[in-house]
Structure 1
Amino acid sequence: MVLLCLMPGSAAKNALPQRGGEVNLTLGGIDLNNSGSVVVREDKKLLTVLFPDGRDGRAFTLKAESSEDLYGWKTALEQALAQAPSAALVMGHNGIFRNDTSDTMEGSIWRDKRTVKSLVVGRPILLALEDIDGGPSFLEKALRFLEKFGIKVEGILRQSADVEEVDRRVQEYEQGKTEFGADEDAHVVGDCVKHVLRELPSSPVPASCCTALLEAYKIDRKDARVSAMRSAILETFPEPNRRLLQRLFQKILEVPMAS
């Protein structure tokens, strides 16, 4: 699934479904149907388009430059979704939506073969710790569980859990089991944390920051070197990346202290 660039204003209007059975299937790269909904997070200028069921089990998150853009996108998307084809229809090979039996069977086979976009794994760093609605993310909840129940577990974050159990726990979360219970295996939850971090779409430490830190480290005087490294972090580290690493370091430091 490609990441998208939403078209505001008149371009968005031109992307609305057309009359006569044929429809424009995308809006800036989003396949549209009327099962979609739009969620706005004004304080972070974020907009998420959610398609909840079946082949449309996916979510797209956009970050706007301004509040004007944010609500312009929201209006354009809501209008497009309202006029889009039903989610029950299946697209034929010629780009026309159909709902006959053969097309439905073909769509069912396609759904079985495709990989549904995860609501947990592969999320942008901006949403690593906090969901679009402001609530704690899967990663944040897992870290809180480890702080409460996993700190004194021998080998936590070092011993590996069964890969299938980790995948199963992620799937359970996506299917509605969104809280970690006291009786859960801490090693499984710990490996869930590592799995999410490994699958981030971009590095928590940007290349620009790595370069700046390396240059700062070359300074001979210790006090000047430390000052330069601090400046490099402040000037080149995006806030979401900084918050994520601070949260992880906070957790990692607790493990040896509790041993």
Structure 2
Amino acid sequence: METAAYIFAIFGLFLLPLTLYIFPNFYLKIRENKKYDLSFRYFLFFLVLITEIWFYLNHLYLDDKQHAWQHWQNYFWLEFCNFSAVTIMILLIKPNKLFMDCTLPLGLIGPCATVFFPANLSNMSFTNYWYWQDMFGHITIFFSYLFLYTYGYTKTRFDKTFIQRSIVYTTIIGLGIEVYNLGFGTSFGYKAVAEIFIGQQKEIYYFLFVISWIWPLLFTIYYLIVWYFKPIYSLELKQKINDSWFEKISKKIVRQSRKIKQKQ
């Protein structure tokens, strides 16, 4: 059951965003129609909001085995994905290039890391409400960021400014979380992933392991993805500017098929 639920979550993480590239005309129609556009963005906004409310209710009250609601630190759940949930809700309401440049890395890396490296495998069950809240919330955040980026809601492009802003923002958030951890004895941000590789250690070792090994790897993959998956729609031109990778592959297959037929 755990394996099936884990595989299902990974498929969901990739299959839903893939629709952005497989069905570009569908999403372009949403993008070009103001009524559809606002409705779809508000729909995504409320999905993220509901999962965040669900998370805090479960954590503080419904699944309260250690009286979590009595400790003020639990009201400031400083995981990277919680930051991403807040930032994507802001972007869905008011898209902004500076904000997108800064927050896009965590908006994509955080959900991926959570789905691939779940903190508690025992929760990976179709009958566990934590599973649906956790996986559904992260997949929605991931999809929402890609939707805004791919369909031109901001002018975010893969360039020097984008790289600088994203690194500075992520560094500030990352260091801030670690200072909070060391100051208040919490383990946000790093333990869930690092513990898989190095076992139980002091909090500072989780931090050092993640920033020296995990972050460089994830950021390299992330920048390659952003560089390859270019925006399809132009905000300023209000038109399609790039074919999706799916369309490019389809065109290559068609051209190759024609060449083979001509040779025959």
TM interval, shorter chain, is under 0.3
The alignment's TM-score, normalised by the length of structure 2, stands at 0.27
Greater RCO (Cα-Cα under 8 Å, separation 6 or more): 2
> Higher helix share goes to which structure?
2
The alignment's TM-score, normalised by the length of structure 1, stands at 0.27
> Higher strand share goes to which structure?
1
